[in-house]
Structure 1
Amino acid sequence: MERVKRLEIITNSLEMSQVIKILDSIGVSGYTIIKDVTGKGDRGKIIDDLETPALTNGYVLSVCTEEQESEVVTAITPILKKFGGVCIVSDAKWIAH
């Protein structure tokens, strides 16, 4: 098993392409995206009955190295400040296959 950092990023769906560009530019090896994430945060409730995807959130799950962690956090922070959302980084172990 390899020690990695688990990345969980939730933000506005319109910013998902920018989040993915950031991960790719830093060299993060892969990710999973879940669209139309609902919940409640400091900007209120996000519900799934909206007419436009511009108002929905998306969830990105990925892993990165400890070296990549600070680059990701630095690059993602302006998006979160402008559009809301969250970036959670935690320790994890990756089973290489």
Structure 2
Amino acid sequence: MRDVKRIEIVVEAPQEEVIRQLIEDAGIDGFTLMHAVAGRGQRGDRTSDGLSSAFQNIVFVVAATADQTAALVEGVRPILKRTGGICLVSDARWLKH
């Protein structure tokens, strides 16, 4: 097993391409993306359905090194400040197979 940082980024669906690019720019090879997630935050409730995906949230789950994490988090911060969302960073163990 390998020590990594687990990064979870919840943003509005229209930010998907921006976050994808930030992940790539940080040198991270892969991620998991979940569309149409529901939840509650500072801006109230978000449902997982609706007339438009523009009002839905998405979640990226990423495993990265500490250096990659620092680069990604600094890129994500201004987006969260502008559009809302959340970024969680935690220690994790990657089970290589």
Distance in 1 separating the partners of 2:67 and 2:73: 11
Offset, 1:25: 1.1
Q: Secondary structure at the match of 2:48?
A: coil
Give ranges in structure 1 of 5+ residues lacking alignment: none
Identity across matched positions, percent: 34
CA contact (8 A) 2:36 2:49 kept: no
User: TM-score normalized by structure 1?
Assistant: 0.95
Aligned pairs, number = 97
Aligned to 2:7: 7
User: TM-score normalized by structure 2?
Assistant: 0.95
Aligned to 2:73: 73
Aligned to 2:60: 60
Deviations 1:44-82 (CA, angstroms, capped at 9, x unpaired): 100134211111100011110011111111000111111
Distance in 2 separating the partners of 1:12 and 1:95: 30
1:84 aligned partner, one-letter code: G
Runs of 4+ in structure 1 off by over 4 angstroms are none
Offset, 1:29: 1.7
2:69 aligned partner, one-letter code: E
1:93 aligned partner, one-letter code: R
Offset, 1:15: 0.2
- What is the RMSD computed on CA atoms of the aligned residues? 0.8
Give ranges in structure 2 of 5+ residues lacking alignment: none
